Structure formats: structure tokens, C-alpha cells
């Protein structure tokens, strides 16, 4: 269900809410650079079906409302352009608004994909709202790898990701020895998105099993 949130600076943004409204555990799910599109809604609904209350904020609303992109080259270019225009402080205000929209008293986690993988990392390092964070192929994590996480973190990368070389993954591991990092052989960027050509169902299933177990352990 589409809802509206209000961030602490007064900005109003839409979000997708799903899962049990009285759940004792909740997840903020963070979008790729393609908006809260059908893939992100399906993914959110799936996590909701596992018993999590889920809120997926539309982070592009600070620049342009109701953005839903596909996965062609022009969509990638537009998504990158929109991402560049969203201020980092605004991103975190919107993430905090999404966390606040989860059921009262629910233990909270954060999980993100692509751009959202980086934002999930920031959710661990720039917020104290979450008990655990999971990031999938976040290209900006290496650049902020020295930030200190406030909760346990698990990260997932594709071995063949053209935008995130394994050298970056190694740097993250060196800077954050306590962070769980998994690399999926033969997988590219976006391997967990069924709408992309890089989709790898086997890697997706394995990554999800690890992510869900990690979140259940640390969030509840």
C-alpha cells in the first residue's frame, strides 16, 4: 500500500508499506536507482510475507515524485542523474522517517540494493535506529568504508560487478573486519533483481537465505 511520510525537515515523500501492521520486527527497504518500481514493490511484498513490517521510502521524491524506471541504458542514465541530485542529509532524514513509520515498538533493520545498498550502510553508520543492516552491491560503500557502524552489517557483492571491482570489496573488508562480506562467483551487478539481464537466481536464493538469517539473529 502506498503511504505518505513526513521527514523531520518537513519534506513529504511517498513510501510502499507492506507486511503485518502489528509485527514485532520491521525493515526499511531501500530502493535501487530506479525508484520504488515494480521490482522494489515485489521485493518488499516478499519480505513482508516473511513476517516483517516493511516501509520502502521513495528517495527520489526530493527531486522528482513518482519515479519508476526500467533497466535499459537510458533508465540507468536517468537514475544516476536523479541520484546525484538527492542530498545525502535528505536521504538519511527520509530513511529515519521510514523507520519511524514501522510499528511502534518493533525492532528495526535496514536492507538496500544498488544505491540502496550504500544507503543501508549509511543506515548502520549514520543512524542509531537499526539493530542490523544488509547491503547488496552498494557502489558507494568503498568510499565511506571508514565510517563506524552502530550495528552488525552484512554485505553482498557480485564477483563480476563491472562497477564494483573486487579490489573495492577487499578495501571494505580491510577497513571493516567485523562486517560479514559475501562475494557471489560469476555474478554481476544487480544479480538479485529478476528484471535485469544480470539476474542470478541461485545467487539470489543464497544471498537471501544469508540475509534473512542475519536479520532474524540480530533484529528478532
- Count of other CB atoms within 10 angstroms of residue 65: 12
In a domain, 6, yes or no: no
Catalytic residue (one of 39, 156, 189, 218): 189
| Domain range for 74 | 16-218
The number of folded domains in the chain is: 1
**Each residue of 124-141: pLDDT tens digit?**
999 999 999 999 999 999
Q: Is residue 1 part of a domain?
A: no
At residue 199, does pLDDT exceed 90? Answer: yes
Task: Please say whether the beta carbons of 120 and 215 come within 8 A.
Answer: no
> Which pLDDT does position 47 carry in this prediction?
98
The arithmetic mean of pLDDT across residues 198-205, rounded, is: 98
Percent of the chain with pLDDT over 70: 100
Determine what percent of the chain is predicted with pLDDT higher than 90. Answer: 99
Which candidate, 102, 135, 117, 96, places its Cα nearest to that of 27? Answer: 102
59 is a domain residue: yes
Is 189 considered catalytic here? yes
**Overall average pLDDT of the 83-95 stretch:** 97
Task: Tell me, yes or no, whether 51 lies in a domain.
Answer: yes
Range 181-209 average pLDDT: 98
**What are the φ/ψ torsions at residue 36 (nearest 5 degrees)?**
-85, 75
The set of cell numbers assigned to 112 is 538496500
Model confidence at 220, in pLDDT bands (50, 70, 90)?
confident
What does the pLDDT look like over 149-182, one tens digit per residue? Answer: 999 999 999 999 999 999 999 999 999 999 999 9
Domain of 149, CATH number, reads 3.40.50.1820
pTM recorded for the entire structure? 0.97
Angle between helices 115-125 and 88-100 (to 10 degrees): 80
Retrieve residue 206's grid coordinates: 543464497
C-alpha cell at 137: 552491491
**153, part of any domain:** yes
pLDDT at 69: 98
User: Which of the following is catalytic: 61, 161, 168, 178?
Assistant: 161
Distance of CA 95 to the CA centre of its chain: 10
Other Cβ atoms closer than 10 A to 168: 17
Question: DSSP letters of 23-55?
Answer: -SEEEEEE--TTBS-HHHHHHHHHHHHTT-EEE
pLDDT at 27: 98
Domain presence at residue 9? no
Q: Does a structural domain hold residue 188?
A: yes
Within a domain: 7: no
Query: What's the rounded Cα separation, in Å, for the pair 81 and 61?
Result: 14
Amino acid at each position: 500500500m502506498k503511504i505518505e511520510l513526513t521527514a523531520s525537515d518537513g519534506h513529504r515523500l511517498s513510501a510502499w508499506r507492506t507486511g503485518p501492521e502489528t509485527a514485532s520486527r520491521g525493515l526499511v527497504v531501500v530502493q535501487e536507482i530506479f525508484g520504488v518500481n515494480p521490482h522494489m514493490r515485489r521485493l518488499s511484498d516478499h519480505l513482508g510475507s516473511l513476517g516483517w513490517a516493511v516501509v520502502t521510502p521513495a528517495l527520489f521524491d526530493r527531486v522528482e515524485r513518482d519515479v519508476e524506471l526500467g533497466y535499459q541504458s537510458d533508465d540507468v542514465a536517468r537514475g544516476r542523474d536523479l541520484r546525484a541530485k538527492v542530498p545525502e542529509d535528505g536521504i538519511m532524514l527520509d530513511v529515519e522517517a521510514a523507520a519511524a513509520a514501522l510499528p511502534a515498538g518493533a525492532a528495526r533493520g535496514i536492507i538496500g540494493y544498488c544505491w540502496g545498498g550504500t544507503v543501508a550502510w549509511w543506515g548502520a553508520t549514520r543512524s542509531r535506529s537499526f539493530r542490523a543492516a544488509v547491503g547488496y552491491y552498494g557502489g558507494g560503500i568503498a568510499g565511506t568504508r571508514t565510517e563506524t557502524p552502530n550495528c552488525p552489517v552484512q554485505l553482498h557483492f557480485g564477483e563480476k560487478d563491472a562497477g564494483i571491482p573486487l579490489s573495492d570489496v577487499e578495501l571494505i573488508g580491510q577497513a571493516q573486519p567485523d562486517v560479514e562480506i559475501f562475494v557471489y562467483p560469476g555474478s554481476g551487478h544487480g544479480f538479485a533483481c529478476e528484471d535485469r539481464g544480470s539476474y542470478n537466481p541461485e545467487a539470489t536464493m543464497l544471498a537471501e537465505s544469508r540475509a534473512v538469517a542475519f536479520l532474524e539473529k540480530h533484529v528478532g
